[in-house]
Structure 1
Amino acid sequence: MGIAERKLRQKETIRAGILASAWQIVQSEGWQSLSIRKIADSIEYSVPVVYNHFESKDAILMEFIRQGFNILSTQLQEAKTATSHPPEQLKAIAGAYWQFALSHKPHYEVMFGLGIPGCEAVKQMEEMKKVSEAMLSAIEKTISAGNSPQADPYLKLHTYWSILHGFVSIQMFSGYQPMVPRKLILEDAVESFIKGIMA
């Protein structure tokens, strides 16, 4: 192995160590406790070494956001391809989204810390774009199969994503305990959404 290859491998090892350490801090203390100083202390390197790999804490957060959207897009695509019927795809996507949020809570928190991403944010990150496209294509097909072909698919995408995010937020951050299981409420809301765009 040449010197250049060795340096590259060392750089990748340090970068992976920074991310692993950051993730451990998040898992044990939460996102609000994450700092460059804590990461540096954890991996036993100086603060400038961390800055050589990530220009800021936000850059580290962005890496976790990218990872989260990559996992989510894979799971939504798998759910979507399990059926060829567009309304059923929307139900499957909703179920996969819900399951992702419950099983990847730290990722979900950083991915949606400021709510649903806007159009510009979606365009800037390929992983986020894939999540949006999985939902949008199922919505467009459902609109085509219904009686309102003039419906705006982008408006419906925002409505659909708002339903999903709203229910996840209630599940994660609210002490509210409904009389029926939350998943049934989500399924009922998605069913109503589908009926609305097919009417």
Structure 2
Amino acid sequence: MNAARFGCYLAGGIPDGGTRLYPGCRDPRPPVDTRGCELPGGIYFATMSPVWGGGRAFYDPRLPGAAFARAYLITSGQFADVVAQEMYREPGDDLDLSSVLANGMAALGPGRYETLLRAGSLDGYPVLTFTAPWSAAEVAPVAPSAAYLRMLATGLCDAHGWTVARAVEYLTELSGAHGTWTPQALLAALGQHDTPAATPTTLPN
């Protein structure tokens, strides 16, 4: 969600609040375009991330509702290198995307981010993402860290024009965060106060 965090996948670096140095892509150029979008399904938090110290976000197209996401217009080679970095592999190998483009899904392996999905099209380009092979119902929820939620919240505000209050409300209703994080507690962790949803506000840098 967060453009600066995504930039670490492309050009390399350590994301704000994270602990891992990403090597970056073979092609470090920024995306040609980026915008907020909605995918059919939902987001949940599960498994423990050593980078963020809490649950990871996964996309499940079988969940009801809509998943608020961010689309980046990048090359197929950049996409392959982002996938590799999420699986703690060195970037450098291209992916055969013919199966996911034709069938809507392709399994690269059993890993947590090795299931490729085509979630529709945007301006004539295929919308590709990656997630776990399991569904939200098949794995125990794990609460995400404040740093991870901050990264997601800033991305939601930037990509969708949301207020912090709306982003916090959305995130705290997701499985894994719900029941552990309340909107008030997350706002406090982000250094915000309880602001009415109609009042624009931004997170501190």
* Same-fold status (TM-score > 0.5): no
- TM-score band by shorter chain is under 0.3
| Higher CA-based Rg | 1
User: Larger % of helix: which?
Assistant: 1
TM-score, L = length of structure 1: 0.28
